[in-house]
Amino acid sequence: MYKILFTIVFSIITMFCAAQSKTDKTLSKPKIVVGLVIDQMRWDYLYRFADRYGTAGFKRLMTKGYNFENAFIPYVPSYTAVGHSTIYTGSVPAIDGIVGNNWWEKSISKNMYCTSDSTVQSVGGSDLAGKMSPRNMYANTIGDELRLSNNFKSKVIGIALKDRGAILPAGHGANAAYWYDESNGKFITSTYYTDALPQWVNEFNAKDKVTGYMEKNWNTLYPVNTYTQSTTDEKAYESGLYGLTGTSFPYATSSIIKEKYSTFKTTPYASSYTFDFAKDAIRGEKLGRGAATDMLTVSISSTDYAGHSFGPNSIEIEDTYLRLDQDIADFLSFLDAQYGAGNYLFFLSADHGAAHVPGFLAENKMLGGFYSEIALEKELTAALNKKFGSDKIVANAQNYQVYLNDAVVAGLSEPKAVVEQFIIDYLLKQPFVTHAYRSKDLQITNVAEPLRSKLSNGYFPKRTGDIQFLLLPGYFDGWGKGTTHGLWNPYDTHIPLLFFGWGINPGSTHREVYMTDIAPTIAAKLKIQMPNGTVGKALVEVTE
């Protein structure tokens, strides 16, 4: 009898303790969430250069974390600002209003830069670089929700060379965002966040680490003839480094004087420099040391600058990613030392990919090409002037869209619909254009899925052009050297997505997921509300 009673009591106690332990685990939080976005990182870079990656960088994230192999951007256009806002809002341009890096702001008939804000002042740098804030973004971020969840006890800080890569991820209520001013080689901010740089930022800037990095020059990590995943070194369709001639190693960056701070952005040392600053931010702000979970958003911008200049198949890009792998390994080791492995939640993704350089495609008998947006606008304006007697009909052309000057069009003898149809017909005559239509007529336009949904997700009436046009695969707006991005194709929209650390079990899936799923996944992990414009879904592979 006593034995049975003892067994029952023991079982109840055991069950209670197990339940209590499970509850404690459910309520526990990571010390910090770190988001790492690699600007212009194509998904295939995880594998193209894998043979020469170490075990502690990308491979650690892939083998010890969870790998979403089929993560996609669910909108058009695929630009830097849009990618960064989408990752952290879980939203799309149709809701958060970030429809490009730039757009024609119809309410004021002026071109608008995504983070431009004339109401704030620069702190630590030039007016041109510093008058920035997140006010053009109409949705909040996961960092905003984190701060709202605990009455602003969490700290949220954004860091990148690019202002848009620091400001948009950090959100509206961030404690700080810091970006690089190429006029002085320093990290700066704006009065949106503070009236003076913290001491730790001033101390970092005073070291002038940029000069030290540039004095190293840029040569390949390994003998140049071992870079078998790339083309030969010197290519006429590569842009090279500003301030130097030629497009082959070694690059004598130490000889660059006048353009030193701007050219630095294109070297792989700018990645190391960004991580240096991120480490100092963690130490200087004591991130992850309080009772509440903090958040640090880091964007590596140098990969985008190098990608535009040299293209995906260059030795420069291969070397850039081999060096980035080492930087990531070092940063993860730093986080381990600061918080303990498994005590921080980390994710890696990209804001977009990149197309192959048309010159590279041509020499390998593959299709692709470029056109000049400026030339197209000029030629279209001339055609409109000849037809309707005005050279002011087009207000702007960008983001593969044409914006009309409504006041001018209203004064024409022909109705707006006739003018729009003329532009559509003109665009369809271009050999590289596949579709052209009134943006507002997307739902009745013969555009195949899933492209229709991506275009719809990118449509914000007050900021989207009147006419949208689509291109043949492999084509883009360019100038003959290097490459770019911005379209719907997989090379621009298939991105890496890796979760690692706190509460993440190793694994992978080829299930199709989307950039918009990142923010709600973090919200689910932290048990906080998702951002107010979120359209994505929590990824059950890492939340359950």
Q: Distance of alpha carbon 444 from its chain centroid, rounded?
A: 31
- The residue type at 75: Y
315: left (phi over 0), alpha (psi -120 to 50) or beta: alpha
Longest dimension (CA), the chain: 104
State how far the Cα of 427 lies from the Cα of 434, in Å rounded to an integer.
Answer: 9
Strands (E), 381-438: 394-398, 401-404, 433-438
253 is catalytic: no
Structure tokens at 522: 């973090």
Asked if 178 and 187 touch (Cβ cutoff 8 Å), the reply is: yes
- Report phi then psi at 79, rounded to 5: -115, 170
Among 14, 147, 37, CA closest to 83: 37
CB atoms within 10 A of CB 493: 26
Q: Which residue has the tokens 């209003």?
A: 97
369 has which bridge partners? Answer: 475
Would you list the DSSP string of 334-391?
Answer: HHHHHH-TTSEEEEEE-S---PPPHHHHHHTT---EEE-HHHHHHHHHHHHHHHHS-S
Active-site choice (23, 26, 55, 80): 80
- The residue ranges of DSSP E strands in 425-464, in sequence order, are 433-438
Q: Left, alpha or beta for 176 (phi > 0: left; psi -120 to 50: alpha)?
A: beta
CA distance 494 to 113: 25
- The residues with which 436 forms a beta bridge, in sequence order, are 469
Rounded to an integer, what distance in angstroms lies between the CA atom of residue 161 and that of residue 300? 7
Alpha helices in 92-141 (DSSP H): 93-96, 127-130
15: burial class by Cβ within 10 Å (0-12, 13-18, 19+)?
exposed
Q: Give the residue numbers annotated as catalytic, written as ranges.
A: 80
